[in-house]
Amino acid sequence: MKGLTFFFTPFFSLFFYLLCISFTTETEAGSRNGDGVYIVYMGTASSAANAYRAQILINTMFKRRGNDLVHTYKHGFTGFAARLTAEEAKVIAKKQGVVSVFPDPNYQLHTTHSWDFLKYQTSVKIDSGPPSSAASDGSYDSIIGLLDTGIWPESESFNDKDMGPIPSRWKGTCMEAKDFKSSNCNRKIIGARFYKNPDDDAEYYTTRDVIGHGSHTSSTAAGSVVENASYYGVASGTAKGGSPNARIAMYKVCNPGGCTGSSILAAFDDAIADGVDVLSLSLGAPSYARIELNTDPIAIGAFHAMEQGILVICSAGNDGPDVGSVVNTAPWIMTVAANTIDRDLEADVVLGGNKVIKGEGIHFGNVSKSPVYPLIHGKSAKNTDASEGSARTCDYGSLDQEKVKGKIVLCENVDGSSYASSARDEVKSKGGIGCIFVDDRTRAVASAYGAFPTTVIDSKEAAEIFSYLNSTTDPVATILPTVTVEKFTPAPSIAYFSSRGPSSLTRSILKPDITAPGVAILAAWTGNDSKISLEGKPASKFNVISGTSMAAPHVTAVASLIKSQHPTWGPSAIKSAIMTTATQTNNDKGLITTETGAVATPYDTGAGELSTTSSMQPGLVYETTAIDYLNFLCYYGYNVTTIKAISKAVPENFTCPADSKLDLISTINYPSIGISRFKGNENKTVNRTVTNVGGDGVAVYTVSVETPPGFNIQVTPEKLQFTKDGEKLTYQVIVSATASLKKDVFGALTWSNSKHKVRSPIVISSESSNTN
């Protein structure tokens, strides 16, 4: 099995944990001499010369070895994927028109109430119908494409009741398979494609979801309204997507064996031709991979999608809270972190004397609600061969059955790399009747533990249990059934697993861009998954899981709604609308915090938490132009010849700016401001241009600045006076220091009038990237 790690967190069940194995490429997974599947990327499809060269290569090499040709790319960009020897790959890389040749990577999947929480946060009612300003002929219908594990079409979340005809602009298809017929598509699921790979079993040649991830993300983004949804009574309520009138096109690029880069590129190529409006990817490379732009299938596909007017939204990864772990950081991608919502799934501990200790977890254990079960610390239950540390953690084989049988065991995440699911399994195998796991890291993220009573507490809560253990010779406890607690505070907070900035690509672009709900999200699942089912009960049609995988489709839904309301807006305008209207406060009216309780920075949250309402009417937008992106490639180090091969938008007389270097990336017209390589004894100047989209014609905006300590930030002019809608005005930001820069610092500037607040976070760093 090739590497698969979900961008939903891998701590929900042993099944998903076992899937979390290392990132591989075809070359690594295959023979050690470098033979395997390679991707040959030849740039823009708008170049007839590129297309001709690609066809010549294909005809020459694969006329008699057609089975070695895996995919061809011809709609949004040009190239192919094929089985090649290492020597063939080297030869092809030197051919005219070839931008890059690289082994086919295997990427990770970044694995209801969340929409109500966003509504509460913005205090404005969400209209589940089409925007009132949208056209009435169906042209407002937005089409969301998802690159994922497939879809379970029988789910009620994908019913097409009251939906109008499929938009006439749609050019996609519904691929048939043995268990997926064209009739499985409808006016909700309007497209379904899967991609064959030579190492896949034939059973996966279908768009049907066998994992659950794709059904979950699809229904989060665009699921129809389903009343009385729950996971066996937990998190009950109405399940609905954020854009319930949007259409879904599923591109199945992931199987239990992984998500190959060649399939991801094939899906991008098809989606561009099919006519999607927004693309959502809850997958990516692991943070340690440090893949270059011209060998990253997601960055490549997203660039060409952007050129065709498609916004690409990706999860930030689940390698947090490590600094610099964020992935999918190309500036033409919208990168999404994950936060909690105001719903807590509590499984409390009751000690002797009826002292209640708050805990977190989803379990369906049938035990007494009274504290009648003996309680023991893992250290006190160790077997003779185990170390004290492994017994405290309740590692596999560390506990003595005679000491554990019939007891609740208190286990600890001593080394920072253990999980409650593993401790539960050890306690259960030795005859215990419950597990209390101490872990500050995972305390705020409810995982499912099936029928065995299990809960997670933090070290502060654990101190009370240790005190109780030391105060009595006959400690007893119980673990209460899971209950759903609404209006939990403070929320949001950044999930511990959510990958953090800064970007390894460049600190001149703030990543992540935004944060959205990604913890304990209820959404559709496969209808036959015995691994999440309770004994004696039918498979649940919904599941509660967490990850940046779950956060990305929340943003996708809002982007879809903006596209419906403003169909002429391009990807950068939609991204700007979402970023500049984000919120920085929680439901306690304080600033958003991390899992530790510390105030979050833009490296945790990006611009802030997604707003479902203000983003529809942002007032001003930052439009990142084609020239901005071309200049970015120049600043990043690509030459004009390569850039012209990559992009269809290169003017005839385009040249890279003089003295192109990494810190000039700050100058592209991005909604946030990142200033890198700041030496402290200089001024740094960047310009930004905003477009008036407020709808009132004449508008005046005044700037306010949140200046970090030790700095001066001057904005010129301090007022922007617009005379009409669509007018563009430019302002200048000059940054200077009054003290030496010892660490990255954060600020913001906001343009506001009586109707709108347009906020851009500012990050200042002495470095240019995590690797430079």
Domain end position, chosen among 585, 615, 645: 615
Q: Note the pLDDT tens digit of each residue in 266-309.
A: 999 999 999 999 999 999 999 998 899 999 999 999 999 999 99
What is the distance, to the nearest Å, from the Cα of residue 156 to the centroid of all Cα atoms in its chain? Answer: 24
Alpha helices in 297-444 (DSSP H): 297-307, 388-393, 401-404, 420-429
Amino acid identity of residue 515, one-letter, is: T
CATH number of the domain where residue 721 is located: 2.60.40.2310
Name the residue among 316, 195, 184 with its Cα closest to residue 261: 195
Rounded Cα–Cα distance for residues 494 and 505 (Å): 22
**Does residue 1 surpass a pLDDT of 50?**
no
CB 483 within 8 A of CB 377: no
Domain end position, chosen among 573, 598, 615: 615
What confidence category does residue 5 fall into, taking pLDDT thresholds of 50, 70 and 90? very low
Same domain flag for 749 and 672: yes
Q: Strand pairing partners for 248?
A: 144, 189
Q: How far is CA 291 from CA 253, 288, 504, in A?
A: 19, 9, 10
Residue 498 falls inside a structural domain: yes
Residue 3 falls inside a structural domain: no
Looking at residue 111, what is its pLDDT?
A: 77
Same domain flag for 451 and 542: no
Domain end position, chosen among 573, 591, 615: 615
Same domain flag for 457 and 532: no
Looking at residue 118, what is its pLDDT?
A: 53
**Does residue 2 surpass a pLDDT of 50?**
no
Q: Note the pLDDT tens digit of each residue in 669-720.
A: 999 999 999 987 889 999 999 999 999 999 999 999 999 999 999 999 999 9
**Does residue 132 surpass a pLDDT of 90?**
no
Residue 413 falls inside a structural domain: yes
Domain range spanning residue 703?
A: 619-624+668-766
Q: Note the pLDDT tens digit of each residue in 523-557.
A: 999 988 888 888 888 999 999 999 999 999 999 99
Helix (H) or strand (E) holding 669: none
CATH number of the domain where residue 96 is located: 3.30.70.80
User: 250: which residues sit within 8 A by CB, 6+ positions away?
Assistant: 145, 146, 148, 150, 151, 189, 191, 192, 193, 207, 214, 218
Same domain flag for 599 and 676: no
Tell me which of 329 and 25 has the higher pLDDT: 329
Same domain flag for 243 and 300: yes
Looking at residue 417, what is its pLDDT?
A: 85
Residue 722 falls inside a structural domain: yes
Same domain flag for 206 and 325: yes
Same domain flag for 261 and 407: no
**Does residue 127 surpass a pLDDT of 50?**
no
CATH number of the domain where residue 557 is located: 3.40.50.200
Place of tokens 């929900």: 12
In this prediction, residues 634-656 reach a mean pLDDT of 93
Q: How far is CA 263 from CA 111, 193, 314, 335, 648, in A?
A: 19, 11, 16, 21, 23
Looking at residue 33, what is its pLDDT?
A: 55
Rounded Cα–Cα distance for residues 538 and 560 (Å): 34
Same domain flag for 375 and 275: no
Q: Flag the least confident range among 105-114, 344-353, 455-464.
A: 105-114
User: 297: which residues sit within 8 A by CB, 6+ positions away?
Assistant: 39, 105, 107, 261, 262, 264, 265, 268
Question: What percent of the chain stands above pLDDT 70?
Answer: 91
Residue 403 falls inside a structural domain: yes
The catalytic residues are 148, 213, 549
Helix (H) or strand (E) holding 381: none
Q: Which two tokens stand for residue 101?
A: 């040749």
CB 397 within 8 A of CB 427: no
What is the distance, to the nearest Å, from the Cα of residue 479 to the centroid of all Cα atoms in its chain? Answer: 33
709: preceding bond cis by omega (within 30 degrees): no
**Does residue 10 surpass a pLDDT of 50?**
no
* End-to-end alpha carbon distance in the chain: 35
CB 758 within 8 A of CB 620: yes
Same domain flag for 247 and 319: yes
Looking at residue 31, what is its pLDDT?
A: 40
Is the pTM here over 0.85, yes or no? Answer: yes
Cα dihedral sign for 56, 57, 63, 67?
A: negative
Question: What percent of the chain stands above pLDDT 90?
Answer: 81
Same domain flag for 227 and 314: yes
Looking at residue 128, what is its pLDDT?
A: 29
Residue 305 falls inside a structural domain: yes
Name the residue among 284, 351, 342, 262 with its Cα closest to residue 110: 284
Same domain flag for 529 and 432: no
What confidence category does residue 32 fall into, taking pLDDT thresholds of 50, 70 and 90? very low
Q: Strand pairing partners for 728?
A: 691
Q: Which two tokens stand for residue 396?
A: 């596999």
Q: Note the pLDDT tens digit of each residue in 186-203.
A: 999 999 999 998 778 888
Q: Flag the least confident range among 4-13, 213-222, 624-633, 760-769.
A: 4-13
In this prediction, residues 213-235 reach a mean pLDDT of 96
Same domain flag for 499 and 585: yes
Residue 24 falls inside a structural domain: no
* Sheet order of strands, 311-315 included: 189-194, 247-252, 143-148, 278-281, 311-315, 333-339, 514-517
* Neighbour-count burial for 609-628, b at 16+ CB within 10 Å, e otherwise: bbbbbbbbbbbbbbbbebeb
CATH number of the domain where residue 449 is located: 3.50.30.30
Total structural domains within the chain: 4
Place of tokens 């509460």: 120
Residue 393 falls inside a structural domain: yes
